[in-house]
């Protein structure tokens, strides 16, 4: 009964989304096809960019701090939440975020910070009281301007994480400048601590920076009432084509009254086009629109070597059961062919172990398409929160990023993985390691590796909860 009701509600939810997007002029996003050009024409595609994916807080946070220190004109930050006392590096004597921004403002740099105002009722963090408190800390006694954006859809939020410095470099990713709900500082070694944190951020230079800058300016102008000049388009800095993809729900901003849903469009285009490999790291996997494409690929694999690898948190901050329900469906579609592997990671040091929370939002398809940003694979991020992803079809960036991440998770050197076909690595490294560690857990033995099969995916769990949540909350 749970399964049948879940399937029925999911069909209702997907039909509702189709009607909504058609009404807004975005209906083609959900139509089959559109896989020829993985970037498509629904958002500008910029040539001549340099893209670098920064892995974990140890690499991403100091890079942001260094860019802010070098700023000469302005620093623009948009985030879900930021804490004034958060330190971007753990070096002794390192400044707090407030101190770093205040120092920039003191030397004549214009600093603007745009944060979510928090939910209108104190159901979850950050509360509006906390957001106002942090706003005061950033602005009192400094030249920093901080504005709170309360134009969210009910039960949703402003979730994007952006930094733009001098309109010359931009950072787009999943890293929040706060320890709220988890400490963002971690390294690829993931030493055991109360909870590790795996996250990603993309650093971009070149013409695509102007797209990030324009988006921030439009939000800032509408919320703060300050008109900012259009950014100059930076010169070419590399060889990567880049597309900035966004979720902006309709009826939220005057500059996009019908919204923008290019994150959803980008994922669907890329997943439909997949031939050999889908690699996803994400905090959630609820979206039925995404799941349906993966289900079709698993039932009708385009190649014998086609594999889907998912890296998800063991226990998401919410929605654990809805993710498990979709994984159960995917495993049913795989039907024992071992084309799908769903795993999570943890930290180990001798007898000590601790979970590592997967907060990354990354997609890689066929080592030819990559997206990094703030968007989770749930209905919140694809339809109702504000989100920004940076996407490229540069094979070199996609492949090198996958190899770095696989080396981190598998504990193997990049050259070893680079020499092997992805399907071979999945079948003979990922799966044996993850299954062995899951078997150790079942027998109460100490685990010896950070990789393990995601628990609870061997059966359909709470099939009803995902579509019910989506229908009531994400509709």
Taking alpha carbons only, the member of 161, 81, 85, 182 closest to residue 129 is 81
Residues 72, 77, 79, CA angle at the centre, nearest 5°? 165
In the block, which residue shows the tokens 């991020």?
381
Total residue count of the chain as it appears in this document:
475
CA dist., res. 379 & res. 282, Å (int): 13
What residue ranges of the chain have pLDDT lower than 70?
A: 1-3, 6, 33-36, 317-324, 350, 456-475
Domain parsing of the chain, residue ranges: 2-44+242-473, 47-240
Taking alpha carbons only, the member of 396, 398, 422 closest to residue 410 is 422
**Domain at 47-240: CATH architecture:** 2-Layer Sandwich (3.30)
Taking alpha carbons only, the member of 305, 332, 270, 323 closest to residue 424 is 305
Taking alpha carbons only, the member of 235, 251, 204, 223 closest to residue 389 is 204
**pLDDT of 7:** 76
The secondary element (H helix, E strand) that includes residue 129 is helix 128-139
pTM of the model: 0.95
**pLDDT of 462:** 53
- Could you tell me which CATH number the domain at 2-44+242-473 has? 3.30.870.10
* pLDDT tens profile 271-289: 999 999 999 999 999 899 9
In degrees and rounded to multiples of 5, residue 45 shows phi and psi of -110, 125
R_g over Cα of the chain = 21
**pLDDT of 473:** 52
**pLDDT of 278:** 98
**pLDDT of 459:** 42
**Same fold flag, 2-44+242-473 and 47-240:** yes
Tell me if the bond preceding 126 is cis, omega within 30° of 0.
Answer: yes
**pLDDT of 382:** 96
Please provide the distance, in angstroms rounded to a whole number, between the alpha carbons at the two ends of the chain: 23
């Amino acid at each position: 009964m749970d399964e049948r009701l879940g399937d029925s509600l999911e069909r209702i939810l997907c039909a509702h989304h189709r009607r909504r997007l058609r009404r807004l002029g975005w209906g083609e996003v959900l139509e089959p096809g559109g896989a020829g050009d993985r970037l498509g024409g629904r958002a500008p595609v910029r040539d001549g960019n340099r893209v670098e994916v920064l892995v974990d807080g140890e690499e991403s946070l100091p890079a942001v701090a260094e860019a802010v220190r070098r700023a000469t004109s302005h620093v623009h930050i948009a985030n879900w939440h930021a804490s004034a006392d958060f330190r971007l590096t753990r070096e002794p004597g390192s400044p707090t975020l407030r101190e770093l921004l205040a120092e920039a403002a003191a030397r004549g740099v214009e600093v603007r910070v745009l944060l979510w105002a928090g939910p209108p009722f104190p159901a979850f963090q950050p509360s509006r009281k906390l957001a106002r408190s942090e706003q005061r800390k950033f602005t009192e006694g400094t030249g920093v301007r901080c504005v709170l954006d309360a134009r969210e859809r009910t039960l949703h939020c402003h979730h994007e994480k952006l930094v733009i410095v001098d309109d010359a470099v931009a950072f787009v990713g999943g890293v929040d400048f706060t320890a709220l709900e988890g400490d963002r500082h971690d390294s690829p070694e993931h030493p055991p601590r109360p909870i590790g944190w795996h996250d990603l951020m993309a650093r971009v230079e070149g013409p695509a920076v102007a797209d990030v800058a324009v988006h921030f300016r439009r939000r800032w102008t509408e919320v703060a009432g300050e008109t900012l000049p259009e950014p100059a388009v930076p010169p070419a800095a590399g060889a990567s084509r880049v597309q900035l993809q966004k979720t902006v729900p309709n009826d939220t901003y005057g500059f996009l009254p019908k919204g923008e849903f290019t994150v959803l469009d980008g994922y669907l285009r890329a997943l439909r086009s997949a031939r050999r490999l889908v690699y996803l790291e994400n905090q959630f996997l609820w979206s039925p629109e995404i799941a349906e494409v993966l289900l079709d690929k698993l039932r009708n694999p385009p190649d014998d070597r086609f594999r889907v690898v998912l890296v998800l948190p063991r226990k998401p901050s919410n929605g654990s059961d809805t993710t498990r329900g979709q994984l159960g469906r995917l495993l049913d579609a795989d039907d024992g062919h071992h084309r799908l592997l769903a795993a999570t990671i943890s930290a180990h040091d001798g007898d000590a172990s601790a979970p590592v929370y997967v907060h990354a939002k990354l997609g890689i398809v066929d080592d030819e398409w990559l997206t990094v940003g703030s968007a989770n694979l749930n209905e919140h991020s694809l339809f109702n929160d504000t989100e920004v992803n940076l996407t490229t079809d540069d094979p070199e960036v996609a492949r090198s990023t996958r190899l770095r991440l696989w080396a981190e998770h598998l504990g193997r050197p990049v050259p070893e993985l680079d020499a092997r076909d992805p399907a071979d690595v999945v079948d003979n490294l990922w799966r044996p390691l993850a299954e062995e560690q899951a078997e150790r857990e079942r027998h109460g033995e100490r685990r010896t590796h950070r990789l393990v099969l995601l628990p609870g995916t061997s059966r359909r769990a709470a099939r009803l909860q995902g579509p019910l949540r989506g229908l009531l909350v994400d509709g």
